[in-house]
Amino acid sequence: MNVGVVGNPSYRDLKNILAHLAQVAPRVGITLYTEEEIGPLWPEPAPPPLHRAPQLDCLMTLGGDGTLLRGARTLNGARTPILGVNLGRVGFLTTATSQTLDWALDALVRRAYVTEPRLALAPFIEDKQGRSRAEPIVLNDAVVHKGGVARVIRLRVSVDGDEVGQYSSDGIVVATPTGSTAYALSAGGPIVVPSVDAIVVAAICPHTLAVRPLVVPSSAAVTVEPIPPWTEDVLVSFDGQVGTTMGAGERLVVKRAAQPVLLVRLGPEGFFARMRKKLQWGDLSDRERK
């Protein structure tokens, strides 16, 4: 079994975990491949780089949700399951921890897991002439916002070419159901169960009480276009990790990606259980009678 490894070097335990992984993986029939950024942290000899893998059976991410999101972009639409190992605090998207790593590897080899398909988005920037440039596949969200000083901008939002309206806000979040528990939730958006085929459009700090988040079909194309003179220093962020600028006359178009992102799930814990455990959803413990 070929397993790629993506890790966040800011976690102090990563080097020890990689050493343990390098020792255990061969015993259970796993051939490891690594992203080059963490190559120096492996014991010698380090695994071959990811680009030399003939075909990955799984991608393991060692870190938090951000590392898993980066892993999804690394796959760039490939239908390779992602096993998230949480080394941080929340790890809402992950399914294992450093303490359960050996158990997770055993389950992986035995195929004793299920994959949970998550809708992904394929954003691109389009100019007035219809020329477009593709941007990275995103699992959480694409966000149009103002660079530089903090102030509102005006944006036109359309769904399948039908104008929704003009928004005066700090920005617009276009999110998947997976991303509905991230930035979109902070912007007042709803939590969308991952099995629902939908896209969330939420304004960040809208300048009017008449604006509320939208939930549109996943088949829709969502367009966000800055309105002059609010076209300078406009940025687009993808999963909050990478981004690009958007010039005058350009617009962001977000469509559903051709392939979902597959998340490995181990054990019986479901989405709502993770919400209660990791987001403290419905936690009334502070109100219990003494």
Q: Any idea which residues carry the catalytic annotation?
A: 65
HSE, CB side, 13 Å, CA atoms: give it for residue 75: 32
Q: How far apart are CA 104 and CA 142, in angstroms?
A: 31
